[in-house]
Amino acid sequence: MSQFWSPAVRALTPYVPGEQPRERLIKLNTNENPYPPSPAIEQVLQAFAVGHLRRYPDPESLALREALAKTHGVEPEQVFVGNGSDEVLALAFQAFFCQPKPLLMPAISYSFYPVYCKLYDIHYRTVALDDRWQIALKAFDADNGGVVFANPNAPTGHGHPRQAVAQLLERIIESVVLVDEAYVDFGGESVVPLIADYPNLLVAGTLSKGRSLAGLRVGYAIGSRELIEGLERVKNSFNSYPIDMLASEVAIASLEDESHFKACCEQVIATRERTRQQLEAMAFEVLPSQTNFLFVRHPRHSGASLFSGLRERGILVRHFNKDGLSDFLRISIGTDDEMGSLVEALQAIL
């Protein structure tokens, strides 16, 4: 606490990201991709003209927005970019959810959402998951100041099909519905094609997961021109140039290499399904996943004890010490070798 802080800052509860350990561990705790990004990036860095860095980048990041538009079959004016999807989400909360009515979100979803609400003084209400740990889209009341959820959801892993989101959008027409597709590349169904029909739909995405670029910090949002313009108004009142020149060129090279991206995602999916079977054979309950992680619990071992047992064996997973979630572990999908080590370690613990 400090007398110099703005009063609201004293009340903040900042987000706590997963640990980035300095020791050598098998790191299955922050849903990073186990495979490297496109090899084309190496050539980008070799060929980059360092002298250009003395200039400001394009404040509108047009080249990157064009590449994203092409990838997603939309127009550049329907694309917004930011310093990671966390920044994009924050700006969207400020642009759309500071409303008299409360924002609705699932009771269990990305834990940064309530943090943004505190930062921007947004009133929100949570909607319980259904009894299969899935987002209860039908329980979202039409009378709200906005809706946000991750699809597929984190840390549970379930994704709703596009049609289910379209049904929600038939009911909720007066506020913005923000669908966070950070994990969509591992088997989810993107709702980007719905933006043509629903001007209140905003879809957030990232290059961190499917494209193995967590270290680069490039995220985006896709929606109607009026939503993108709202985001730009906030962004241009905050920071004119969020995307640096290197990040833009590296991201574009990644977007142009569709085959490397698809092959890595398919490999992660195959490893996930094999790991799921192995864990089920050990009596774990494994929630269905369309992501690059599994959310699991064991009938006879607590989440905390399994977490510690794995950590002692050099394997880091994520354990959420929260009501309703503390029985579970969230395990990111690594390489086949890493998941083999995980399964062996769990067998030893059990």
Site string for a second copy, 195-234 (x = CB under 8 A): ----xx-------x---xxxxxx--------xx-xx-xxx
Nearer to a second copy, 57 or 189 (CB): 57
Terminal-to-terminal C-alpha distance of the chain: 45
Contact between 170 and a second copy by CB under 8 A: the answer reads no
Q: Which residue stretch of 16-24, 73-81, 271-279, 299-307 sits at the interface with a second copy (rule: CB under 8 A)? A: 16-24
Site for a second copy in 116-135 (CB under 8 A): 116, 118-119
Q: Which of 170, 238, 277, 324 binds a second copy (CB under 8 A)?
A: 238
Nearest to 222 by CA among 62, 73, 94: 73
Compute the distance between CA of residue 90 and CA of residue 116 in angstroms, rounded to an integer.
Answer: 6
Tokens 């990671």 sit at which residue? 84
Site for a second copy in 43-82 (CB under 8 A): 45-46, 48, 50-59
Nearer to a second copy, 185 or 189 (CB): 185
Strands 219-223, 177-180: parallel, antiparallel or unpaired by DSSP? unpaired
Q: Which residue stretch of 34-42, 157-165, 179-187, 274-282 sits at the interface with a second copy (rule: CB under 8 A)? A: 34-42
* Contact status, residue 167 vs residue 137, Cβ threshold 8 Å: yes
Tokens 């085959």 sit at which residue? 259
Contact between 304 and a second copy by CB under 8 A: the answer reads no
Nearest to 257 by CA among 71, 21, 63: 71
By CB under 8 A, the count of residues binding a second copy is: 88
Nearest to 148 by CA among 210, 217, 99: 99
Q: Which residue stretch of 35-43, 190-198, 302-310, 338-346 sits at the interface with a second copy (rule: CB under 8 A)? A: 35-43
Beta bridge partner(s), residue 26: 315
Nearer to a second copy, 88 or 287 (CB): 88
Compute the distance between CA of residue 255 and CA of residue 81 in angstroms, rounded to an integer.
Answer: 14
What's the half-sphere exposure (Cβ side, CA atoms, 13 Å) at 198?
Answer: 26
Q: Which of 26, 28, 32, 221 binds a second copy (CB under 8 A)?
A: 32
Compute the distance between CA of residue 194 and CA of residue 37 in angstroms, rounded to an integer.
Answer: 29
Contact between 161 and a second copy by CB under 8 A: the answer reads no
Contact between 6 and a second copy by CB under 8 A: the answer reads yes
Site string for a second copy, 79-118 (x = CB under 8 A): ----xx-xx--x---xxxxxx---------------xx-x
Compute the distance between CA of residue 263 and CA of residue 188 in angstroms, rounded to an integer.
Answer: 16
Contact between 5 and a second copy by CB under 8 A: the answer reads yes
Contact between 271 and a second copy by CB under 8 A: the answer reads no
Residues composing the chain: 350
Q: Minimum Å distance from CB 2 to a second copy?
A: 4
Q: Which of 245, 282, 343, 349 binds a second copy (CB under 8 A)?
A: 245
Contact between 256 and a second copy by CB under 8 A: the answer reads no
Q: Minimum Å distance from CB 12 to a second copy?
A: 5
* Rounded to 5°, angle at Cα 280 from 275 and 286: 80
Q: Minimum Å distance from CB 86 to a second copy?
A: 5
Strands 103-106, 146-150: parallel, antiparallel or unpaired by DSSP? parallel
